[in-house]
Amino acid sequence: MRFIKIIILLFISVNVFGQGVIPKPVSIELHNGHIDLEKVKFKCSSLFAIGDIYTEDYFGQMSKIEKEFNNTLLINLNANVEMPISLLYNINTKIKSGYKLEIKEERIIISGSERSIFHGIQTLKQLIFQSKGKLQCQTIIDSPAFKWRGMHLDVSRHFFDVEFIKKYIDVLALHKMNTFHWHLTDDQGWRIELKKYPKLTQIGSQRKETMVGKNFDPYKGDGKPYGGFYTQEQIKEVVAYAAERYITVVPEIEMPGHAVAALSAYPQFSCRQQALEPLTKWGVSEDIYCTKDSTFTFLFDVLDEVLALFPSKYIHIGGDEAPKTRWKECAHCQANIKQHNLKDEHELQSYFIGRIDSFLSSKGRQTIGWDEILEGGLAKNAAVMSWRGEQGGIEAASQKHNVVMSPGSHCYFDHYQGDKKSEPLAIGGYTPLKKVYSYNPIPNHLDKKYHKYVMGAQGNVWTEYMENPEHVMYMALPRLCALSEVLWSGVGKSSYDDFTSRLIPHFDLLDTLGYNYSKALFNIEAKTIIVNNQMSISLSTDFPEYEIRYTTNGNEPMADSKLYNAAILIDRDIKLKAKLFKNGEPTGNLFSQDYNYHLAVGKKIVLKDPPNKNYSTGGAQTIINGVVGTLPWSGNEWLGWRAKDMYLSIDLGKEMEVSKIKVSFLQAPESWIHYPAKVVFEDNNNKADHIVSNNYPLVLRDGFFELILNTKTRYIVLSATPLRVIPAGNPGAGENPWLFCSEIIVE
């Protein structure tokens, strides 16, 4: 057993008590006394170092502190002792996991393993930053709840240089995250240099142009060639940089799908072998790797070079969104199905992943892939990253495979984090900070005996709509801070209010370090309240020290606009705008919503099947609240069902003259959301139950499903049936589509 003590003597000449560490430490015990940082200069000496290699690293870390804090801490390896306050690194074998940080008037001591001491330094950095002069004496004992504390970054859809990747890694380190999942290849660009296959970057890293906004159909491109890749030297530099921060880089090489950039360079590994180009718009391609032997030779070569660059135990091989269209028509692929006695193309995918898995195992590595790798049977040693909800994670863990949870609902940081009207264009969804903070990586429905297979969770940053580093950080922060606390501190160890009370001062640190971040947490939240068949809107904020000021005529709220103190009745069309104020100063984004009054607003609605829990924000009332969802869609205006009819009845309270019903459904094929196959109004002789007398179809006109009724009725009974499967030629073809409804307008 090795015991290493390195004492850094800190010559301090001084700063206010701050206890805002993120992620929150397990235990903090405050003591009397403080270190006066304004009077103290931190100088250090390796007095007690026992010639250990770690010395340099630790001083390296302290030098970094010096840089980050504008030289308030002075580190000098050859210092003469002036007024010693010792910062004692102690690799203490008595601490099983985590670190102990003791701040005493005469010294600071951090003990733990090498890795844990690094985490202790992150805590100390945050404390010093917030202390504003006086660093309070205290003892912190701290260790992580989960072992996979990950963040992902897609560099294919948009490319980010090494300087930014390091900055991204730095912010992971500051939050004690330990895994960087680097999504290096996809349809729109291959970003890693491989010596044996130079065309991967010569051809595969360059695309002709990029789609503008969401102009899928009709397509509109920007006409600007786009490209970039990392040389092997740069990759090594990043891997080493991350390792110094105790972060493992897990590379992702996508297969068998999301491979168009690779197949543009080497079309011989596709089924049809025709010319392809890296894609210029987002989505899923039917052109995937063929399962012929030469593809495996190619992929093993690719992986050989990847393994030489990345020492990580896990290698991510993608596995998601691989349509089977080409395999169904390919002689090689069909012959493989026969030869290996496979039932279908799903089993062929399983065969494909299985061969890759055996290869990686033979090299002493472990496969990890998106949850589609469960389909057709999970490869022997593979771990699963659960993204289409939690089910994949539950299944894999129940089969005693390791799992990383990354469900879209809580962990996709490409979703909107606030009202989309005041947020930059995003892919869709609605994943506000509070939702991330509420996440529990251990699924509710997972039997206790399998909990140990859940290694942790990960935030994913897909960059279709993020063109520059500032935008990436804006989407990642502060959701990353919330996820770091879920993963390090553990679920239920703090509250959202407690978290935000630490986060707001933490923003100053992010500012100092030059990180862009979202302030959407200051959003004003609107809820509908129904009393006596009338709807009102209540506004709230998570920060009661702020006032809400509002207008209903569409004007910008000012410090002297009406003070919100009671719910606002919606009995006519109104244009509501609201903003937070403190001492007359506005903060956060503008809340803005038009409410279009109609007969069903505020009435009673009963759904036969509830919407999917990930797309149920606001509940049933969301579809009769006077708000028609707009594009680009975000998850809070729509209710979503999958593989189920939307079947409902609205009780208008009394018989009313109804001229027209208009229903707003969403058509967003890139997100697997399709119009229903049919929508019908059931005339059931004014009974609330679903006994059908006559069905009247609604027809699509100007973006709404519409029925001219001109009749008296009390009940509006509607059913909408989704398409059975997503039609060929669309992302997710052959899978069940989503059905999204935002409003049922009754006039």
* Comparison of 369 and 676: residue with beta carbon closer to ligand ACM: 369
d(CA 621, CA 744) in angstroms, rounded, equals: 10
Distance of closest approach, residue 155 Cβ to ligand ACM, in angstroms:
15
* Comparison of 318 and 629: residue with beta carbon closer to Zn ion: 318
Distance of closest approach, residue 320 Cβ to ligand ACM, in angstroms:
4
Instruction: Categorise residue 5: left if φ over 0, alpha if ψ from -120 to 50, beta otherwise.
Output: beta
Which one is catalytic: 142, 186, 187, 193? Answer: 186
- Contact call for residue 192 and Zn ion (CB under 5 A): no
Distance of closest approach, residue 389 Cβ to ligand ACM, in angstroms:
12
Distance of closest approach, residue 732 Cβ to ligand ACM, in angstroms:
10
Partner in contact with 330, chosen from Zn ion, ligand ACM, none, beta carbon below 5 to 8 Å by kind: Zn ion
d(CA 39, CA 638) in angstroms, rounded, equals: 58
Backbone angles phi, psi at 679, to 5 degrees: -130, 130
* Comparison of 68 and 371: residue with beta carbon closer to ligand ACM: 371
* Comparison of 193 and 321: residue with beta carbon closer to ligand ACM: 321
Query: Which residue of the chain is nearest ligand ACM when measured via CB?
Result: 320
Which one is catalytic: 258, 316, 415, 598? Answer: 258
Partner in contact with 22, chosen from ligand ACM, Zn ion, none, beta carbon below 5 to 8 Å by kind: none
Partner in contact with 333, chosen from ligand ACM, Zn ion, none, beta carbon below 5 to 8 Å by kind: Zn ion
Q: Are 700 and 675 in contact (CB under 8 A)?
A: yes
CB neighbourhood size of 574 (10 A):
20
Partner in contact with 115, chosen from Zn ion, ligand ACM, none, beta carbon below 5 to 8 Å by kind: none
- Contact call for residue 259 and Zn ion (CB under 5 A): no
d(CA 571, CA 708) in angstroms, rounded, equals: 24
Unique residue bearing structure tokens 């770091």: 484
Stretch that binds Zn ion, among 270-278, 476-484, 522-530, 647-655 (CB under 5 A): 270-278
Q: Are 270 and 260 in contact (CB under 8 A)?
A: no
Helices (H), 132-273: 162-174, 199-202, 232-244, 260-265
* Comparison of 23 and 443: residue with beta carbon closer to ligand ACM: 443
Distance of closest approach, residue 425 Cβ to ligand ACM, in angstroms:
18
Residue 217 buriedness (CB in 10 A; 0-12 / 13-18 / 19+):
exposed
Partner in contact with 220, chosen from ligand ACM, Zn ion, none, beta carbon below 5 to 8 Å by kind: none
* Comparison of 25 and 428: residue with beta carbon closer to ligand ACM: 428
Q: Are 513 and 532 in contact (CB under 8 A)?
A: no
| DSSP string for 584-645 | TEEEEEEEEEEE---TTTT-EEEESSPPPGGG-TT-GGGGGSS----SSP-TTS-EEEESS-
Distance of closest approach, residue 232 Cβ to Zn ion, in angstroms:
30
Distance of closest approach, residue 454 Cβ to ligand ACM, in angstroms:
18
Q: Which of 37, 211, 271, 373 binds Zn ion (CB under 5 A)?
A: 271
Stretch that binds Zn ion, among 290-298, 492-500, 516-524, 690-698 (CB under 5 A): 290-298
Distance of closest approach, residue 258 Cβ to Zn ion, in angstroms:
16
* Comparison of 370 and 705: residue with beta carbon closer to ligand ACM: 370
* Residue 372 CA: distances (Å) to CA of 255, 321, 464, 729: 11, 7, 21, 19
Backbone angles phi, psi at 213, to 5 degrees: 50, -130
Q: Are 4 and 57 in contact (CB under 8 A)?
A: no
Partner in contact with 249, chosen from ligand ACM, Zn ion, none, beta carbon below 5 to 8 Å by kind: none
Closest CA to 588 of 379, 390, 418: 418
* Comparison of 154 and 357: residue with beta carbon closer to ligand ACM: 154
- Contact call for residue 290 and Zn ion (CB under 5 A): yes
* Comparison of 271 and 570: residue with beta carbon closer to Zn ion: 271
d(CA 734, CA 611) in angstroms, rounded, equals: 21
- Contact call for residue 320 and ligand ACM (CB under 6 A): yes
Q: Binding to Zn ion (CB under 5 A): which residues in 461-480?
A: none
Q: Is 233 a catalytic residue?
A: no
CB neighbourhood size of 106 (10 A):
12
Partner in contact with 290, chosen from ligand ACM, Zn ion, none, beta carbon below 5 to 8 Å by kind: Zn ion
Q: Is 186 a catalytic residue?
A: yes
> Residues 321-350: x/- map of binding to ligand ACM (CB under 6 A)?
x-----------------------------
Q: Which of 370, 413, 638, 704 binds ligand ACM (CB under 6 A)?
A: 370
Q: Coil, strand, or helix at residue 289?
A: strand
> Residues 385-404: x/- map of binding to ligand ACM (CB under 6 A)?
--x-----------------
Q: Coil, strand, or helix at residue 430?
A: strand
* Comparison of 57 and 320: residue with beta carbon closer to ligand ACM: 320
d(CA 27, CA 126) in angstroms, rounded, equals: 16
Backbone angles phi, psi at 235, to 5 degrees: -60, -45
Question: What one-letter code names the amino acid at 636?
Answer: N
Number of residues that bind Zn ion (CB under 5 A): 5
Distance of closest approach, residue 324 Cβ to Zn ion, in angstroms:
10
Q: Binding to Zn ion (CB under 5 A): which residues in 328-347?
A: 330, 332-333
Backbone angles phi, psi at 33, to 5 degrees: 95, 165
Distance of closest approach, residue 371 Cβ to ligand ACM, in angstroms:
8
* Comparison of 299 and 404: residue with beta carbon closer to ligand ACM: 404
Number of residues that bind ligand ACM (CB under 6 A): 4
Q: Binding to ligand ACM (CB under 6 A): which residues in 223-282?
A: none
* Comparison of 66 and 320: residue with beta carbon closer to ligand ACM: 320
Q: Coil, strand, or helix at residue 377?
A: coil
Residue 508 CA from chain centroid, whole number: 23
Distance of closest approach, residue 463 Cβ to ligand ACM, in angstroms:
12
Burial pattern 396-426, b for ≥16 Cβ within 10 A else e, equals bbeeebbbbbbbbbbbbbbbbbbbbeebeeb
Q: Name 362's Cβ contacts closer than 8 Å, sequence gap at least 6.
A: none
Q: Are 69 and 129 in contact (CB under 8 A)?
A: yes
Partner in contact with 387, chosen from Zn ion, ligand ACM, none, beta carbon below 5 to 8 Å by kind: ligand ACM
Closest CA to 737 of 721, 725, 727, 720: 725
Residue 19 token pair = 């206890």
Partner in contact with 370, chosen from Zn ion, ligand ACM, none, beta carbon below 5 to 8 Å by kind: ligand ACM
Q: Coil, strand, or helix at residue 469?
A: helix
Partner in contact with 404, chosen from ligand ACM, Zn ion, none, beta carbon below 5 to 8 Å by kind: none
> Residues 425-444: x/- map of binding to ligand ACM (CB under 6 A)?
--------------------
Q: Binding to ligand ACM (CB under 6 A): which residues in 202-221?
A: none
Cis peptide before 267 (omega within 30 of 0): no
Give the binding site for Zn ion (CB under 5 A): 271, 290, 330, 332-333
Q: Which residues bind ligand ACM (CB under 6 A)?
A: 320-321, 370, 387
Report the catalytic residues.
186, 258, 321
